[in-house]
A and B are shown apart, each in its own frame.
With several copies, the nearest count.
Chain A
Amino acid sequence: MKLVIAIIKPFKLDAVRDALVGIGVHGMTITEVKGYGRQKGHTEIYRGAEYAVNFLPKIRIEVAVTAEEADNVVETIGSAAKTGQIGDGKIFVVPIDHTIRIRTGETDADAL
């Protein structure tokens, strides 16, 4: 089991979700996060002062999948989220030891 964590541009969320549903992934959890990276933020004007806003809004997607599916999921997210412009984000694949579906108590692959 793998936990695929992707940081993407907010406006790509719908595209990524549709792509994942397209390959049969029917569950995910998203978080509004802020990212710092090569993409420089904008400057905000505040009476008498400018502040560089370095942290930009991003969406963090978590999808738990079986180890076999992981590559496919990574690729799917990667192509759906890509704009080719700086700030597109990253994908991390992290191992999962166990998965449990709270409602039924099913575990691992059954729990997804």
Chain B
Amino acid sequence: MSVAKLARATIIAGALTLLVGAPAIAQPAARPASTISSADTAWMIAATALVLMMSIPGLALFYAGMVRKKNVLATMAQTLAVTALCSVLWAAVGYTLAFTGHAPLLGSFQRLLLIGLGMNSISPFAKTIPEALFMMYEMTFAVITVALVAGSVADRMRFSAFMWFAALWLVIVYVPIAHWVWGGGFLARAGVLDFAGGTVVHLNAGVAGLVAASMIGPRHGYGSDNFAPYDLSLAVIGTGMLWVGWFGFNGGSALAADSRAVFAIVATHLAASAGAVTWMALEWWTRGKPSVLGMISGAVAGLGTITPASGFVLPWQGIIIGLIAGLVCFWSCTWLKLACGYDDSLDVFGVHGIGGATGTLLVGVFAVRAVGGTAGLMEGNSVQLLIQLYGVVVTMAWSAMATFVLLKAISAFVPLRVDKQSEIEGLDVTQHGEALQ
């Protein structure tokens, strides 16, 4: 099978890269400290704080607000534990493998355990801020991507199995894709545009979530029991924090306090708004009532979809992209999911997967040369759409395949799912020994 071949080739290539990448240690990335801009540093610290806030407490709330009472704390625990565990792993091996070296498939070991990271170090990817800040900023992206996946398997995945998954998935799935797209890897060289993570973050998490949800199977009672969220107000708070934090996510991806950051932020905000309005309108029209869950779903759909496009388009195009996001993600969450029958608990695939893919393709349509340096279909550069499609396909393939293999491997040691009785009793008590009163 060609997939298997590709996998093998990739693994071998990865191994080679490590060898090839190693000599790069000799070339220090650090450059004269004088290029560090206090203003860019000021903004990027704030952006880093904003992105961390997206995970904790943002995503923790967003997810926990959509589950049943018995799983609220367990859902929060997943985000919390991922933040802690993956941060350490990112500093230890993730950053160096994603953002150093010149190999097409994987980075080098130049910054293993952050060795050599000094006060004056600067990454070639962010020349006006300290490298430590760039490392940290990218860390928050890694963390939230892993945490996003948890939504698909909420309410039933065993905590220990999820911890193994999080650690390994970070290194095996996230790090390579980050390197390919953002770390000078083969997708970057092919010209794939992804400003803040349409492929690396959202599509990647969505596909992994879909694979995981399919492998673990639907929740007990899916389709018959009432799975209404216990406390949607938590999800609304979480949405607010995600929305605000996304300014750091997309705006910070400009890596400077400049007009491009501002354009990214404005497009982001308008896309979130348009997404929320669209989903609200669709629900109002199809069901007679606009739900709060629908509004926040639309906002997050808009946010996820604009992510890859944000630094490449004009602010008002954010409205168009948000509108498309609302339509497409509404369709995927209400129709596609039912049609295919998988139980993606919190619609990670439906919102982030579909949204990330849509957004990545829309970069190829809407990209404006004056904003991000590259033109899209609308400005006559039709090939960019194909390049974007290439990025989407590669991301989906690797994410799906590697996630599948990884979960299979883990399940050989730890059951992925809690037993039925524990699932019914709730993960809060059975996994963590505590519960909401």
Contact between chain A and chain B defined by CB under 8 Å:
yes
Binding site for B on A (CB under 8 A): 11, 14, 42-51, 53
- Which one of B297, B338, B429 contacts A42 once the chains associate, using CB atoms below 8 Å? B429
Residue from A11, A14, A43 within 8 A of B433 (CB atoms): A43
With A45-B287, A48-B338 known as contacts, the answer to whether A14 contacts B228 (CB < 8 A) is no
Contact B434 A44 (CB under 8 A): yes
- Roughly how many angstroms separate A45 CA and B287 CA in the complex, as a whole number? 8
Contacts of A51 in B (CB 8 A): 226-228
B382 CB within 8 Å of chain A? no
How far, in Å, is B334 (CB) from chain A's closest CB?
Answer: 5
B350 contacts the other chain (CB 8 A) = yes
A-B pairs, 6 with minimum CB distance: A11-B424, A51-B226, A48-B334, A45-B291, A48-B333, A45-B433
Q: When chains A and B are docked, how far (Å) is the Cα of A47 from the Cα of B335?
A: 10
How far is A53 from B435 in the complex, measured between Cα atoms in Å?
A: 11
In the complex, whether B40 has a CB less than 8 A from a CB of chain A is no
User: A48–B337 contact, CB under 8 A?
Assistant: yes
Closest CB of chain B to A5's CB: distance in Å?
23
**B223–chain A nearest beta-carbon distance, Å:** 8
Q: In this complex, what residue of A is CB-closest to B346?
A: A47
Beyond the given pairs A47-B293, A48-B338, A49-B338, 14 more chain A to chain B contacts, judged by CB atoms under 8 angstroms and listed by A's residue number, are: A11-B424, A11-B425, A43-B433, A44-B226, A44-B434, A46-B227, A46-B228, A46-B434, A47-B297, A47-B333, A47-B350, A48-B333, A48-B334, A48-B337
Q: CA A98 – CA B229 in complex, angstroms?
A: 38
From B225, B289, B291, B293, contact of A14 by CB (8 A): B225
Q: Contact: B333 with A45, CB < 8 Å? A: no
Q: Which residue of A lies closest to B225 (CB)?
A: A14
A53 to B350, CA, bound (A): 25
Question: B347's contact among A44, A48, A50, A53, by CB below 8 Å, is which?
Answer: A48
Q: Is the CB of B283 within 8 A of A45?
A: yes
23 A-B pairs with C-beta separation under 8 A = A11-B424, A14-B225, A42-B433, A43-B433, A44-B228, A44-B434, A45-B287, A45-B291, A46-B229, A46-B293, A46-B434, A47-B294, A47-B297, A47-B334, A47-B350, A48-B335, A48-B337, A48-B347, A49-B227, A49-B338, A51-B228, A53-B226, A53-B228
Instruction: Give CA–CA (A11, B220) in the complex, Å.
Output: 11
Q: Chain B residues with Cβ under 8 A from A49's Cβ?
A: 223, 227, 338
Q: Once the chains are docked, how many angstroms separate the CA of A11 from the CA of B421?
A: 10
B27 at the interface (CB under 8 A from A): no
Question: Judging by beta carbons under 8 Å apart, are B294 and A45 in contact?
Answer: yes
Across the interface, name the chain A residue whose C-beta is closest to B432. Answer: A45
Least CB distance, B430 to chain A, in whole angstroms? 8
CA distance in complex: A8, B433 (Å): 22
Check B224 for interface membership: any CB of A closer than 8 A. Answer: yes
Minimum Cβ distance to chain B for residue A32 (Å) = 11
A44, B283: Cβ atoms under 8 Å? no
Q: Which residues of B contact A50 (CB under 8 A)?
A: 287
CA A47 – CA B329 in complex, angstroms? Answer: 11
**CA A43 to CA B429, docked complex, whole Å:** 9
Contacts of A11 in B (CB 8 A): 424-425
Question: Chain A residue with minimal CB distance to B433?
Answer: A45
Q: Are A45 and B289 in contact (CB under 8 A)?
A: yes
Complex Cα distance, B297 from A47, in Å, reads 8
A44 B435 Cβ-Cβ under 8 A = yes
Q: Which of B223, B224, B333, B429 has the most CB of A within 10 A?
A: B429
- Chain B residue nearest to A50 (CB atoms) is B287
- Determine the distance from Cα of A53 to Cα of B430 in the docked complex, in whole angstroms: 13
Nearest to A18 among chain B residues (CB) is B224
Considering only CB atoms, which chain B residue lies closest to A13 in the complex? B225
Query: What is the bound-complex CA distance between A86 and B289, given in angstroms?
Result: 23
How many whole Å from B282's CB to the nearest CB in chain A? 11
User: What is the CA–CA distance of A14 and B223 in the complex, to the nearest angstrom?
Assistant: 13
Q: Which of A14, A43, A45 contacts B224 (CB 8 A)?
A: A14
**Which A residues are in CB contact (< 8 Å) with B293?**
45-47
Interface residues of B in 280-295 (CB under 8 A from A): 283, 287, 289, 291, 293-294
A64–B433 Cα gap in the complex (Å)? Answer: 30
The residue in B229, B335, B338, B433 that gathers the most chain A C-beta atoms within 10 A of its C-beta is B433
- Shortest distance from the beta carbon of A90 to any chain B beta carbon, whole Å: 20
**Which residues in A have their C-beta under 8 angstroms from that of B289?**
45
Q: How far is the CB of B114 from chain A (nearest CB, A)?
A: 32
* Docked complex: B390-437 residues within 8 A CB-CB of A: 424-425, 429, 433-435
Q: Which residues in B have their C-beta under 8 angstroms from that of A43?
A: 433
A53 to B436, CA, bound (A): 13
Determine the distance from Cα of A49 to Cα of B222 in the docked complex, in whole angstroms: 10
Q: How far is the CA of A49 from the CA of B338 in the complex (A)?
A: 8
Chain A residues lying within 8 Å of B223, measured Cβ to Cβ, are 49
Residues of A within 8 A of B297 (CB): 47
Chain A minimum-CB-distance residue to B293: A47
The residue among A14, A43, A45, A53 with the most chain B CB atoms within 10 A of its own CB is A45
Q: Which B214-253 residues have C-beta < 8 A from chain A?
A: 221, 223-229
Residues from 4 to 55 in B contacting A, C-beta threshold 8 Å? none
